Structure formats: C-alpha cells, structure tokens
Structure 1
Amino acid sequence: MSKTFLVVDGSNFLFRAFHALPPLKSPDGRPTGAIRGVINMFEKLMREFNPDYLGVIFDASGKSFRSDLYPDYKAHRPPMPDDLRLQIEPLFEIIDLLGYPRIIIPGIEADDVIATLALEAKAKGIRTIIASSDKDLAQLVEDNVINMYDGMKNEMLGRTEVFEKYGVYPEQVRDYLSLMGDSADNIPGVQGVGPKTAAKWIHEWGDLDGIVANAEKIKGKVGERLRDSLDILALSKELTTLYMDAKLPIKVEELKRKDQFTDRLRDVYQDLGFRQLLIGLDGNDAPTERFVPPVAKAAKTSSDDGNSWVNPTMPATTNYETITTIESLQEFLKLIPKAALLALDTETDGLEFMRSNLVGISLSVAPGEAVYIPFKQAGLENPLTIDEVMPLLKPILEDESIPKVGQNMKFDWHILKRYGAEIKGIADDTMLASYIFDPTGNRHNMDALAELYLGFKTTPFESIAGKGKSQKTFDEIDIETASFYAAEDADITLQLQHSIVPRLKSVESQYRVYAEIEVPLVSVLAKMEHEGILVDADHLNALSVEFGDNLADLEKAAYELAGEEFNMSSPSQVGTILFEKLQLPVIKKTPKGAPSTAEDVLVKLAEDYPLPKIIMEYREFSKLRSTYTESLVAEINPDTKRVHTSFNQAQTSTGRLSSSNPNLQNIPIRTKEGRRIREAFIAKEGSILLAADYSQVELRLMAHFSQDETMIQAFQEGKDIHAATASEVFGIPLEKITSEERRAAKAINFGLIYGMGAFGLAKQLGISRTQAQEYISLYFSRYTGVLNYMDQSKEKAKDLGYVETLLGRRLYLPGIHSSNAIARSGAERVAINAPLQGTAADIIKLAMLKVDASLTAKSEVDAKMLLQVHDELILESNLASEEAATALLVDAMTDVIKLDVPLIVEVGRGNNWDETAG
C-alpha cells in the first residue's frame, strides 16, 4: 500500500482539546482553547504523516439511525457547554480555510462515516490511519491496512496493540463493548461487567454468542446479571457495531487537501489572538538569532518496528548518546555556545536536594537530540567521574550568556551547587511556564506537560524503577534504560520550552510575570533554601516531653469526666462519649448522619460543658507534638544543623509561595504554644534574625483597586484602618472607639475581602445574623468604592473568564458561569479576592528580588534571606550589619511598586523567630 489516507475524528479531537487545554480567550473575550488545540493537532498530524488523502469528520446535529433502534440512545448526554458551542463555527471556518476536506453527513454518525471510508480505502489498496482515541473504531484495525493513532498518548494501534490495550482483538471489540455497555451513549450492557470481565468471558467462550450459550455456567452475582440481560445484548451489539456501508456523497480519491486562503486566515487568526499561527502564515516560524546545531551521533529509534509510528511532535528518531569518555564530552560541549538554548536535567538517587547524590547529568541543544553523562549506573564500567566532568561543565553552567532551561530547575541548582557549580543564565523553567499559563491546572510535572502540550507519553519513572519498598534508586537501573530515560528528560524539556513559552508570549502581561518575576526568583529561592535556618533541636525535644506530659494530664481529666477511658483522637469514640453517654446536645451531623465532633462543634459545646474544651486542648497539643516538635527535629540536616524547606512556586492558584518538607507557613502564631515552637528557629552565634512584614497589605491593595476615597484617605493619613472603619461604620469619633468595636471592624475589613457574608460574620463576632447584615450594610454605605469594586470584579470575570493582578498574573475562573449556585458564588468570591491576594504575592516576590539584588550589590552588609512566610521576609544578619540590613530591607520592600496608598514595612529583631514579633 503505497498511498496513505488520514481520516481525522474531528468530534473526538474537539472534545479532547476542550477538556485538555486551558480556557484561552480571544482579545474580545471569546473562548478559543478548543480551536487552538484542534489546529495544533492537525498541524502535528500533517507534519508526521503528510497523507495523500485527508478527511476531517464531524458528527451531524440531530439523531442517527441508532436512535430509531433505541430511542434512549445518547438520551442522557448533558448539553454541550456554551464555551465549546461558541467555538464550533470558527473552527469549521478555519478548517475550510486551511483546505482540509470537512465532512458532516446528516443522519450518519462520524464513526460510521470513518468506517465506510476506511473500508473503501482498503478495497482500493490505500492504507488508512484513523486519528482518534474512540475505542469503537478499534474494531476496524488491521495491521498495515487500517491503524488507529492517538497522538496524545503516542499510540499507534495495530492488531497486537489493540489486544494489549483492551484485552481483545479488533474483531472482538463489538462483543466486548456490547457486554460493558456505554454510559455516555446510554447503551445498555451487563451491569457490573467491566473491561477485565468482558475480556475474560470472550477468551473463555470465543464471542458473544458463545457467552450467551454458556450463560448458565457463569457463577455468582455477575452470572445472574448476565442472564437477566440476555434479551438486550443483541440490541447492545447492534448499537455498537459500526455501519460500514454508508451512502456517502464523496469518494476517498476526492479527499485531497486544497490550497489555503491565507489572507482570510490572517484576519481570523488576528481576530482570535493566535499570534504564533500568524507568524507561521508569514513563513517565520519561531525565528532565533542563535544557531541550533545537530548532534551528529548514532540514532536510537523510539521503536524497533520499521512500521511503527512515533509522536508527531517528536522527531521520527531520537539521537540519544551515553557519554563515557572525555573526548566525546568535549566534542559535545563545543556545540553548546552556538546553541539557542541548553536544556539540562540532573539524575539523583533521591529527592531531597540537600542529601541526594548526583548520579548523572543529561543535556540537550536540539529537539530529538540529547546526551547523558552517567557517573554511577548499574552495568556501566569505567564511567567518567564527577571530578573529571565538573571542571569542564562548570564554566558553561556558570556562564550567564548561555541561556538554560530546566523542568523544576531549582532542584538541579541545588544538586549542582553541592558539587561545586552554580547554575547561572536560567532563561526558562517549563514547570513555571505551564503554571503561569494556567495556574488552575494542578499538574505541572513533566509527564503531564508532555502529554498535554506535545501529545507525547514519556517514560514514567515507576515503569523503570518499580514501586513501593522494592523501588530502585536511579543508580541501580541498568545503563541502557537509564540513559534513554535521562536523555529523554532533557530532550522533552527543550521541546516543552518550544511549545509553552510561545503561548505565554502571546499574552504579554502573563509573559512579563513569568520572565520578570518567576524565572529570576528561581535562583533567589534556591539560595534561601540552600542556606536554611538554624533550629534548636534541644528546645524542640524539651517541648515534645512537655507536650507529652500535658497530653497525659488531659487524658486523665477527660477520663474522669467521661467515667471511662476512650481514644480522644477517634471522632467516633468521642461522639459516643459526648452524645450517647453524656447526652450532650447535637449541634450538627456529618454527611453520613452521625453527630459531628468537628472543631466548631466542640467550640460551641465548650461554652457550657468542660469535656469538649479538654478534647480541644488535647487535639491542639497532639497536633503540635506530631506535626512540629517531633517532625521538625527529623527535618534538621545532620551536616548543616539547619532546616532546608522547599519553597513551591507552582502550587497555589493566586501566586503565593507555599513551603514543604517542612511546611513553615502554618506554624501557629496566635497561641502561646505555637509561639514557643517559633522560638526553636534561631540565629547563629554573632547574628540576629530580622523579620520584615508588610502591614495590612491586602487592605491597602483594596484601597488601591477600589479607589475608595475614604479608605485611601485613612491610609494616606496613617490612621489605624480598623479603628477608622469602626468610626465610619458605627458613627463614633475615632478617639472613642473601643477595642471591641475595633475588633468588629477588623472582622468586617478582612471578612469582606475573603467573601464572608452575614452568616459568617455573625458567627465570628457572636452576634445575630440581622446585626451582622446591618454592619455590612453600614460598611458599604460608607465605603461605596469597595462595593463597586466587588461588583465590577464579578462582572469582569464573567466577561473575560479570568481576573488579573496589577502586574498581569492571570487566574481563570471556569466556575464563574456555572449553573450550580454554590460553584458560581465561590468563583465570584475568588474574583474579588484573587487580584488582591495575587498582587500581594507579586509584591513580596518583587521585594525578594530587590532585597537579593541589594544584598549582592552591598557586599559590606553581611546578611542573608532565609525564609518567606505570608507577607514576611526573614533575614539572618551579622550583629555589626543589623542597622544597615534593616534599612536595606525597608528601602527595598517599600520601593517595589507604586500604589495610591503607602506600603508600610515593619521590622522586628530577635535571637529567635518568635522574638522578632515583639
């Protein structure tokens, strides 16, 4: 078969693109994500297969013949989302303008059109490739005659691959689907029969007829269900069988790509905001000023089968080399200074950046090309040593003029820093690029990104190392497997940069946040993490003993009140004691109907009963002991005597940093015991800790965003904003405001920022809901600008589908148009708060960049940044530099952004973290 027919399941592509890609918008706010995704898929398919014949098939609206067979067919499908429906007509126009033959046959489903065309092509000696992930089409597959291709999973299905994927061969797929049914299409099957059972029965009995004939022999509940379903199985098979002889108005040979209408495409792409596609139309695909050289090495193909098909985003072959001699290393290193970008990745024997050992380094300068330099690998004799390689790599790694890209580059920075080289010239980080492009996506790891943006399925680590306790460390994996895996990491990182960063550049404000804040912050955070903070282990151990004694005393008191011993950490046992034995009133119930023992319930009960209060104290001491005093000691690095937390840039949707291993963001500061834990974080001898904190930054941002004159004036005049709010709301002169009135105003100020309503405010202040609503109404009557900001934020989010910070960080809100009132109101609250919280995150990050630059420029100031927690920066300063470091902190933090109200920074000092709070 010398010619190829590519038939594309357009409906399948459309839905997959809609659900896989971020909710992109055109300049005027129309949804475009699915359109962009489908065009990307088409381009990749055309590059890879360059077919002689091409057809793009979509389902027609309305019913098909299957609806006549079974009126409930597809009857329960939910309506198409509005954001998807709006993209169909523009997509159809683009397909037509590109010259792709588009086929929609009324009354005939796309699968049946595809089946008919594939069999026609077979009869004419033309090989067919079906681009789809729809398992119904697998019944058509014949080796080297009709194949299915799923680009997102890098799968080309022949007969063997169908069996490996589904457990049955193509000719058995209809029976397989009939047994399982299809909830999406409302096709009845046998209740409780899934893929494994269906495949097992087919293996045992041959086909559906054989299964029906032997139904009495199948035991158990599933056998009963099979026998109950015998009368519908024939219908199920008829519904799942493809119609392969549809009357079509066109033949395969007529399905050739036509000339594209470039001028009209240019207008459409401009209208939709597709800047990269516009560049492609003009013949200027991704120009670069630097030469990207090939790596002239022996090719290692992704498959041993000459007929196999590889991912369209990947080169047909991959040139991966294992470097084991200085000569071959030197030969490769000559290519790097000429390259547009150097992708690098380190392989280690663990994930702890301060304790893991370097196993190898992979490098790539061109797509499909990569090298791996192993230092310790199973099956490798006479590898290069780190001492041999690092003197050659160090000048390149530390050369700022050589741009570098990594996936979570901060980890690589740490590993290489411990081996004597500091990565400089970090140009891109694909994890961060993905995060800024779509912060609502929670999977920014390489495997997920490769599948999403490249349509390529990478090699999972567990597939080569195993799982659980028997999992191998990377150095224990054989050299051939490890080398390909490592080289692939560097190669895919480079290709992800080529795919994601241009998308970011199409939205200037997002790219600015990425390039001017997040990427420069990588090395700043790395230096902070590497430095760590000194922790007094003796202090923590003493607290553990003390908290243990407290827990024992609380247990004893609780047992006396209950009249028996019980597990105070068990909600069910606590519930039994409180509500069955002691007959305390039930405040609320769990979703399963049991009386709740949640904290808010215990708080309410503790007002009248002693045992709930003791249980609350027990829970608090237990949490402090397990989460902090014991686990923090285990986190202390034995070499540095410091705790080295990880600051996570790509986790929170608003841009706030989080920390882990250990989490230092949640150490309680409002309780005496929580503050005693903070006492364990200490300055080294001869130094002092400085803690610089932005004062009420989110309220100041509310004043700036809302342009409320009353609030702006209060901040500009340096008034206590909570007292000023109390004065406005309650109509009392500022000098006569009581602490209780100020507390109420503070609850209103912060509560409204976070979307608190009358119910929440009433609960927090211990007042009636009517009184709380009156407070809120009084507040908005005095701060009309704030009310207008809230209303405008919600409306803007509904129009655009996203909100932005002052600097352009974007947060998509897919729930803003939800028909579910709870989801919609939640998105509206985020629309109000995210610009404030996100801008606060941007400000503290800008401050960190400026403080780091100032400390670098002023070498006489002996101080280092250690931690960032909420709106606070913590430095360790030599005592002699304390005054200069304090001034530097205040100057840098107050000068990072211009607002209509002043940014105020308060600096505390102390020998430990708690003392810095004053």
Structure 2
Amino acid sequence: MRKTITIIDTFGFLFRSYYALPPLKSKDGFPTGLLTGFMNFIANIGKDFQTDYLVFALDSKGDTFRNELFDQYKANRQEVPEDLLRQLPIAIEWVEKMGFKTASKVGFEADDIIASIAFDAKQKDLEVRIVSHDKDLYQLIDDDTIYLFDPIKKSIINEDKCIEKFGVTPKQFTDYQALIGDSADNIPGVKGIGAKTAEALIKEFGTLDNIYNNLENIEKARWKTLLETGKEMAFISKQLVTLKVDCHAIEEIEHFELPKENPILKIADTLIEFDLNRIIDRVNKEGLNYKTQIPKKVESFQFETILLNEKNRLFEVISSIKEDSFVAFDTETTDIDANNAKIVGFSFAYDDKKAYYVPISHFYLGVLEQISLEDAKEALKLLNNFKLIAQNFKYDYQIIKNNFDLEMNIYADTMLMSWLIDPSSKIGLDFVAQKYFNHTMIAFKDIVKKGENFSSVEIEKAALYASEDAIITYKLYFKLLELFKEEKLEHLLELGKSLEFEFTKVLANMEANGVKIDIKILEELKVKNASYIQSLTKEIYTQAQCEFNINSPKQLGEILFDKLSLKASKKTKSGYSTNEMVLQSLYEEHNIVPLLLNYREAYKLQSTYIEPLLQLALQTNDNRIYTSFLQTGTATGRLSSKNPNLQNIPVKSEAGAQIRSAFIPKEGYSLVGIDYSQIELRLLAHFSNDEALVEAFNNNLDIHRQTAVKIFGEEQADSKRAIAKSINFGLLYGMGSRKLADTLKIDPKEAKGYIQAYFEAFKSVKDYLKSIEDFILQNCYVETLLKRRRVFDFDSANGMQKAAFLREGVNTKFQGSAADLIKLSMLKIWEKYKNNNDIKMLLQIHDELIFEVKNERIDEITNDLVNIMENIVKLNIPLKVSKNVGKSWQELK
C-alpha cells in the first residue's frame, strides 16, 4: 500500500488555530490559544489522519523572488495581532524540540516548499496530504496523490471540492488566480475581472495563454477591453501565484518519520510552564494515536471476511443464525441517492468474529459468480426475522424497498443511537470507529475509482470493505449500549426504540412520495425574476455611478463605504462587512440599500429555489421532486431537508409565495395542511404552569392579544398585538431588550420596559426561563418534552459562547419539544395510513404537515388528522391545530 507524507502549512495552520480558539491565557496572563490548538493537533495525529512521514514547512526571513518580480507583492499585509506574534516562535521552537522535521529555504515561501516536497513525493510514489485550507495550494491538488486536509473542519479538500468552490480544476487554478488576483497578497490580476468572469473564461478557453490567443472570439466587449488593458499584469500575476516545485527535495525520507519518542511528553516540563497540563494528562491516560507505519487493525478488531457468492452456502449460513440474534446489516449500491441507486450487494454480521458479503450486481470483465436477485430477496426475507441493526437505516430501507419491493424491519439504528447520546457530535461510521475503537476504516475513495461506482469494484475487495461496515456496526451497537448504561441514559435508548428508529420509515415513505410541481408557474417566475434582477442591477449601478460585482462583498463594501461614504462597521482583514444586518442598519441612509436587499432576495430565490426546483421537476415524467429529510440534521431535533431544501423558502416575499404556489397535488387530490397553532407558546404554558398563560390557552383566547392586554391595557390591545407577538416569540429565542428594540425599531429603554411589563403580567415565566438556564449551567445539557438531550461544552467556551449556549438551550427546550410532538404525530399517522392510497404525507415544514388527500375523502381524513395531532400527548393546556385545504401549497397559508 502506498505510504503517506503529511506536509504542514505551518504558519497557515497556526494562524487559523489562533483564530479558531477562544483567547486562552495561562495563570500569569500569557496567551495560549494558538499553543493549545497546536498541541491538540499533535495529540490527534493518527486520529484525525494516519501518516508515515511528516514535515512542517516554514517561510524564510526576508524577501523572495516574488518581491523582485513585483515590488508591491504583499505590500498591504495587515499587522498581526500581538498575542499571535508572542506565541508563534514558541510553537515553531516546540516543533523541533518534539522531534519533528522542518523545511525552509531562503528566497522561497512555505507554499513553494510545500509544492516542491509534494512534487518530489509524487515522483517517489507517496500519497501527499497537505494540512492547510489555503486556496493558494489548490493548484497542487491531484486526486490520485495530492490533496489538502482542513485540520479545523477535519475534511479533505480534493478536486471535486475545488471545482465546487471555484468552478475550475486544480490544473486551471493558477490561470484563474492570474485573472482575479489575490487581495491578501496584493496580486493585481486583471482589473475588473471577478470570480464569475474568470470562471467563465477558463471554462471556455482552458488556459490564460489560450484566452489571450482568442481575444477576438470573446463576445463581451467589456471583457475583451479589460483583458487587453490588463494583459501585462495577468502574466505577472500568473508568475506570482505559480508555486515553485524545485526548491526542496526529500532525499532521505526516513528522516521524516514520526518521532520514536512521545513528542508531547518530551516537552512536558515546558507545557506545564504554560499551564497546558490537560494535554499532558490526556496523553498519559490515553497515549497517542499515531504509529510510524500505517496502523494495523488493533487485535480486538481482527475479524474474518467471508464471501457468500454461492446460493447453497448463503442459505446455509443464514439458517445457522440462532433465533433472536442481533444481526448488523448494510447495503452496497451504485449511488448515494436512494431513488436512483441499484443494489450491488449486502453485508451482515451476527457476532464480532466474522462478517459476510453477498455480491449481487458487480459488473466487470471476469467477475466471479454472484447471487441472483431472486435468491437475494429470499435471503433478505430470512434476515428480516432477526433483530436487524444498521447505521443510517433509512438508506438501507429505501434500497431494499426500491430494489426488491420488500420492507425491512429495524431493531436499532447506531447512527441515531450516537445522535441521541449527543446530537451535536459527529455520527458518521468512520468517525465513531476511530473514536470508540481506534480503528481507521477502508476509505471509499481507495477502492472505487473516480468516475466509477461500487459495481466495478472487484468482489474480493468489495467483500473486505462491506464486511467491515457490518462488523463495526455490530460492535458499535454494543459499545453504545454500554454508554447508555454508564451515563444513565437508558431512557434515551427507549426513546429510540419507541420513536426514532421506526420514524426513519416515515421519512423514507415521504421521500418516496415526492411532491408535484407546476412547471409552467416556475418557468414564468424564472423569466419574471430574471428580468427583475436585471432591472435592480441597472438601478444599483445608477445609484453607485459605476458597474461592479454586486455579489462580491469586497467590491460592495468599497462602493458603500469608500465611494458613497456610508458609515461602516469595523473593517476586518477580509474587508467591510456587508451582511444583511449591516444593510438593514443603513436602510434609510441611501437609496442603494433597499435595492441591494431586494437584489439579494431575488438572486437567492433564482439561484437557490426557482432554477433548481424547475430543473429537478423536469427530470421526472410526472414533474415530482424528491427531497431528503435529515433526522439528525439539527441539534434541537427538528427535521431538516436537502436536495432540495424546502424548509427555507421565504415566507413573507411575493416571490416566495409564487414558488409555493407551484407545489400542487396530483389529479383528483388536494393538498391539506395541518399546522400546530402557537405550539412553542403552549409548551411554555405547559412547562411554566403560569396561571395567566394556562388560563388564556384553556379558554381558547388570542394569546397575543391577551399579552397586549396585560402589557398595554384593553384599549391599546388591538393596536399593540404585533408588539406582543414579537415579545411572546422573542423570549423563547433568548431575545433581550436590544434585539427587541431592533426588531420593533424602538428605543432599547422602551423595549426593556415592555419585557419588564411582560414578566410582571406572566409572573411564573421569568422564573421558569431562569430555571432552564440554571439547569443547563449545572448539568451542561437541556432536555425536551420526551427527555431528548442537547449537550453543551462549557469547559472550552468563552463568555460569548456560554451566553449563546444558554440562549440555544432555552430555545431547544421549546423548539425541541415541538419537534417531539410533531414526530409522534407523524409516526402515528403513518402507522394508520401507510397502506392507504387516499392519503400521502408529503412534507414537514417545522410545525406543519402537508398531505395529498383524495378529494372524496378530504373531510373524513382531515378531521381524523386533526384528532390525532391534537391528542398525541396530554399537556396542561390543549393542543390546537389549524387545517387548510387547497390546490397549492400557497393556498394553505
């Protein structure tokens, strides 16, 4: 197997580490945030990634060849914070004291050192991991051998990520940078050429040379003029951004092996001086994760992979499984999209010694014997009699249902079990295998070639990969059982069994149903909105008295705050902030600001909703689109959706309403919307037992008007209802007087008075909200109605983060409990109507469920849905829902 060298972009990593962590200090006041992040990184070598060799690339002092080429290179670099400068040389000193190797050369930057080592390592047939997220290094990416690794996000940046982010390949990246320049390094590029233009030019012509060889073929006159004017700087910029690959070699590779002695304990005395005792304690207790060679599977994880590609042997093994056994199960397919995926094989394990792989549809020259679809279905039926355990069962359930028209049972989902223990933690199988078993799983990319799918993998390799999934899922189930017991969380496991595991089938069913789109409406809206964007663009240019890239925060900031002299918030290293909050604060200051806000909304609608939804609808014969619901997508427990995300379509805008009007029922059916009414306020009444709130809900009074009566009196109640509504909901989201003042556009003092009056009227509420915060501070978690937990890490939080944790905790109490209620309702409705074609559950949007119901049965079914949802649990106050019927989603509002 190919060995790996890891190259650290040292200054880049340390700078990012400094900004990623809170401003920690030692007892004597010396800053230690950067040092803490650095030592955590060292401690995690072998956990976050495996490597055989490692080197820290450093900048050399003084100018480089780039300064000779362009004397303004890096001339605008901002001063580095003093706290960072104090820690930087200490971290560099520690590198060598710990026994790691560094690399640098006078006249060259660390990026050149990285590029040269990567180039040399590639010639030596090494895999190269570059620890950095610096875009200047994207040009080095070669998916087969060289990739970046972001140490903060713990994610790999490969060719796909490069294309996704910039629209060009790594090989095109220097040409792309030559056009757009780099403000951070003061590389000019071609003045007036932005990212989108550069992307378009590179896509059309491929290289910088080819662009200039085809100037006469460039249709846009402005682009042609800009390129002609900026030609000299384009080619100078290309030289500036192109990294050298001949300034450093790794002739004696063994020198770059990881230190034989424990590097952290080697500088333990120094770490104690900086009060970094925790890292020493951790290493003494747990040791380090890395080894000098590619890690072997730990002894406890040795297992036998058995290929079952002969019918008689397959059924012989299944028949030997004892009744009532736990069986871990996993599928291998051609696609991550369950709607399009074809099954290739499946694996299973019923002890921690052996795992089995059943190949079904591998396809390559010389493929071994496989199990037929008919026999595979019979085998699956037999496995369905055992206690099936899966990691992300929803996917496997969909695959088996779509490929075999067979519904698999679920006993436990290890992904959901991990999420129930801590909904904020990573729950992927690769991560938990490393976390709990110190085991690095076989990477998908290592066995599936780029552009191919699992069906092309040799069966013997596939068996190893697939059986590993099954055996780890099996072991993980029992490991998580131990954790539930150790942490006294058995009630959460019971919640998994009673709700969360089976609920995966509800979501799978909804995803399979999809929702119909009226493509004519979207096509008309696309044209209309594009025209609106164009007119807004012209008006914005008129107000700005020049043309610029409106989607560039940097260029927009320069227009607003340099050219138009509007009052700016603090300027950061990346330029002025132009986010929505900033623009809203400038709303009355200049005519350009409302235009910009309208432009952003229209642009987002076009690019995020109108065009993608239309494209998806046109891909299916019946114009239905199919979203994916994520059960573990939020820490509060609310569902989220993706591909496409249907939960964030703007509610208040006219265009948002038009988009929802394109969601329609099929012929002979109507859409029915059932929405929990003021659910979070009802939960506040239930939990707090506030007399006034409980009375209002028990008497079916308008809670917002009642609040207005309590605060402003009967005479002003109607006129002040909107203010009361903002207060009611704001308190559940941790809104203070300043935020309320901004929302209502009133004086903070007046807002403070409103909140005080609210708490005087609803006396128990303030104490109850305070009790939630006290509980969180004491226990570091909050519980929902069904006792689901959201965990908070206060140990490593600064003051602002702690305050945010408390706000999120209060919000989770109510939003998470509302999520509990709607999931309970969805499960009960699905269990009752899952085989009934007169009703299909289509969407869940926070507190609302949307169904497609046959016209002849609307009254009967709708009344039953209302009854189920209003009586799903017994609270101190009644649950109420609103019901609406229409021929589009918008008509349900």
Letter in 2 for 1:523: K
Alignment match of 1:877 (pick from 853, 870, 885)? 853
The reply to whether residue 486 of structure 1 matches residue 486 of structure 2 is: no
After superposition, give the CA deviation of every residue in 1:687-730 in whole Å (9 maximum; x if it has no partner). 01111000010111111111111111111111111111111112
**Cα 1:345–1:850, aligned 2, differ >3 Å: closer, same or farther?**
same
Partner residue in 2 for 1:845:
823
**Equivalent of 2:436, from 432, 443, 453?**
453
Contact kept in structure 1, 2:55 and 2:102, CA below 8 Å? no
Match of 1:808 among 752, 767, 787: 787
Of residues 86, 94, 97, the one that matches 1:182 is 94
Q: Which residue of 2 aligns with 1:763?
A: 742
Report the alpha carbon displacement of residue 912 of structure 1 after superposing the two structures with TM: 1.1
Aligned twin of 1:300:
none
2:705 aligns to what? 723
Contact 1:851 1:888 in 2 (8 A): no
Paired residues of 2:47 and 2:434 also in contact (CA < 8 A) = yes
Q: What is the rounded CA distance, in whole Å, between the counterparts of 1:663 and 1:503 in structure 2?
A: 34
Distance 1:647 1:337, change over 3 A: farther
Contact 1:606 1:613 in 2 (8 A): yes
Alignment CA distance shift 1:904-1:454 (3 Å): same
Task: Select 2:753's aligned residue among 750, 770, 774.
Answer: 774
Question: 2:519 matched to which residue of 1?
Answer: 537
Structure 2 counterparts to residues 238-637 of structure 1, below 5 A: 240=266, 310-314=297-301, 316=302, 318-336=303-321, 338=323, 340-374=325-359, 375-378=361-364, 380-384=366-370, 386-396=372-382, 399=384, 401-441=385-425, 443-465=426-448, 470-505=450-485, 506-583=488-565, 585-592=566-573, 594-636=575-617, 637=619
Give the residue type in structure 1 aligned to 2:306: E
Please give the alpha-carbon distance, in whole angstroms, between the structure 1 residues aligned to 2:55 and 2:555. 47
Q: Which amino acid aligns with 1:900?
A: N
For structure 1, the 5+ residue unaligned runs are: 1-70, 82-132, 137-148, 156-160, 169-176, 205-218, 224-235, 244-304
User: Deviations along 1:828-865, whole A, 9 cap, x unmatched?
Assistant: 212322111111111110010111122248x5x71011
CA contact (8 A) 1:342 1:404 kept: yes
Q: Report the counterpart of residue 51 of structure 1 in structure 2.
A: none
Residue 286 of structure 2 corresponds to none
- 1:472 corresponds to which letter in structure 2? E
CA distance in 2, matches of 1:632, 1:554: 23
- C-alpha distance 384-587 of structure 1, shift in aligned 2 (>3 A): same
1:200 and 1:241 mapped to 2: Cα distance? 28
Shift of 1:167: 7.6
Q: Distance in 2 between matches of 1:78 and 1:604?
A: 34
2:210 paired residue number: none
Percentage identity across paired residues of the two chains: 33
**Superposed displacement of residue 465, structure 1:** 2.6
Instruction: Show the counterpart of 1:690.
Output: 672
User: For residues 869-908 of structure 1, what are the structure 2 equivalents within 5 Å?
Assistant: 869-908=845-884
Amino acid at match of 1:778: A
Provide the C-alpha distance between the structure 1 equivalents of 2:736 and 2:30, rounded to a whole number of angstroms. 40
State how far apart, in whole Å, the 2-side matches of 1:237 and 1:320 are: 37
How far apart are 1:604 and its partner, in Å? 3.5
Shift of 1:587: 4.3
CA distance in 1, matches of 2:533, 2:887: 29
- Displacement of 1:366 in angstroms is 1.6
Aligned residues: 667
Q: Residue deviations 1:555-596, cap 9 Å, x none? A: 22223333332222222332333333333x214234338443
Q: Distance in 2 between matches of 1:628 and 1:354?
A: 21
- Pair 1:221–1:389, CA change in 2 (3 A): closer
Give ranges in structure 2 of 5+ residues lacking alignment: 1-25, 57-88, 122-244, 250-261, 270-292
Determine the structure 2 residue equivalent to 1:48.
none
Cα shift at 1:323? 2.1
Distance in 2 of aligned mates of 1:178 and 1:737: 64
Distance in 1, Cα, partners of 2:364 & 2:446: 17
Deviation at 1:650, TM superposition (A): 1.2
Change (3 A) 1:634 1:366: farther
Superposed CA RMSD = 4.1
**Residue 668 of structure 1: how far off its partner (Å):** 1.1
In 1, Cα distance between the equivalents of 2:305 and 2:519? Answer: 48
Structure-1 separation of matches of 2:856 and 2:811: 42
1:912 to 876, 880, 888: 888
> Would you say the 8 A contact 1:347–1:474 is kept in 2?
yes
Is 1:674 aligned to 2:662, yes or no? no
| 829-838 or 607-616, larger mean C-alpha shift | 607-616
Q: Which amino acid aligns with 1:563?
A: Q
Write the letter of the residue equivalent to 1:458: M
User: Could you say if the C-alpha distance between residues 712 and 655 of structure 1 is closer, same or farther in structure 2, counting changes exceeding 3 Å?
Assistant: same
In the alignment, what sits opposite 1:710? 692
Structure 1 residues 378-408: Cα deviation after superposition (integer angstroms, max 9, x where no partner): 45525435433344134235x4x42211111
User: Structure 2 length normalisation: TM-score?
Assistant: 0.68
- SS in structure 1 of the partner of residue 350 of structure 2: strand
Distance 1:682 1:341 in 2: 44
> Contact between 1:73 and 1:187, CA under 8 Å: does it hold in 2?
no
SS of equivalent residue, structure 2 residue 586: helix
For residue 736 of structure 1, report the CA deviation from its aligned partner. Answer: 4.7
Distance 2:453 2:725 in 1: 53
Could you tell me the TM-score, scaled by structure 1's length?
Answer: 0.67
- Are 1:453 and 1:500, in contact at CA under 8 Å, matched by a contact in 2? no
| Aligned counterparts, 1:218-233, within 5 A | none
Alignment partners' CA distance in 2, 1:430 and 1:238:
34
What's the CA shift for 1:334?
1.2
Change (3 A) 1:183 1:743: farther
What whole-Å deviation, never above 9, does each CA across 1:31-80 have from its counterpart, x for those lacking one?
xxxxxxxxxxxxxxxxxxxxxxxxxxxxxxxxxxxxxxxx9999977899
Residues 493 and 764 (structure 1 numbering): CA distance in 2 closer, same or farther, change over 3 Å? same
Distance 1:754 1:701, change over 3 A: same
Determine the C-alpha separation between the residues in 2 that align with 1:151 and 1:551: 50
Offset of 1:371 from its aligned partner? 1.6
Is this contact kept in 1: 2:526–2:611, CA < 8 A? yes
Query: 1:185 Cα deviation (Å)?
Result: 8.8
- Whether the 8 Å CA contact 2:568–2:576 is kept in 1: the answer is yes
Supply the distance in 1 between the matched residues of 2:892 and 2:755 (Cα, whole angstroms).
35
Superposition map of 1:76-115 within 5 A: none
User: Does structure 1 retain, via aligned residues, the 8 Å contact 2:780–2:792?
Assistant: yes
**AA at the equivalent of 1:182:** W
